[in-house]
Amino acid sequence: MNWIGLLQGFGILLIVSNANVGAKSQNVDVPFPPAWPTALNQAAICSQGQGRPRYPDSFFPRSGAGHFKRRGKAINRLESWYALCCGLEGEDRDIGVLCCARQAWKQALGQFCIEEYGTMTAHYECCRKYGDQRWTCFDSNLSNPDYNATPDYNAPAMPYEPGFTFDLNAC
């Protein structure tokens, strides 16, 4: 092989390598699961809601990332329902807000599991458990157990997620 052939081969190799360097891969992450509502994190659930991330469709790549999309949808749904709970008024407001938030948490994560089982992929570990074991699993290895806001973040306007009705009699 002469020098021209070698350089041409090297130049083609560089072009191919540069094409790969320029390719953009979007890594998405949705911190999950959300923590169980408690008397200790209830104030932050209500006061810092607009400072916690939301996940509009534009956050995700056009294809793939279905697992993260389902997580994001569950977070969006839960934050929407938390806003409803935090708007409760009345004499026993704090008790009602906590009870409502707990109902919203269970329903949102239960719906997440239904959506997980509607796919042909590996299902989220906690969804494979039942009863109290499922809820204990979801309330472990938490990324934000105190529901603190993300610094310098303001959640985008998201539509209300239908499907939740607070049952005061279940408290």
pLDDT single digits (tens) 57-81: 999 998 888 899 999 999 999 999 9
Tell me what the mean pLDDT of segment 28-52 comes to.
Answer: 95
0.85 surpassed by pTM: no
**H-run or E-run covering 116:** helix 93-117
- List b or e across 62-78, with b for residues whose CB sees 16 or more CB atoms inside 10 angstroms: eeebebbbbbbbbbbbb
Separation of alpha carbons 159 and 77, rounded Å: 9
> Is pLDDT larger for residue 160 or for residue 19?
160
Separation of alpha carbons 39 and 43, rounded Å: 8
Separation of alpha carbons 150 and 134, rounded Å: 27
CA dihedral 60, 66, 72, 74 (to 10 degrees): 160
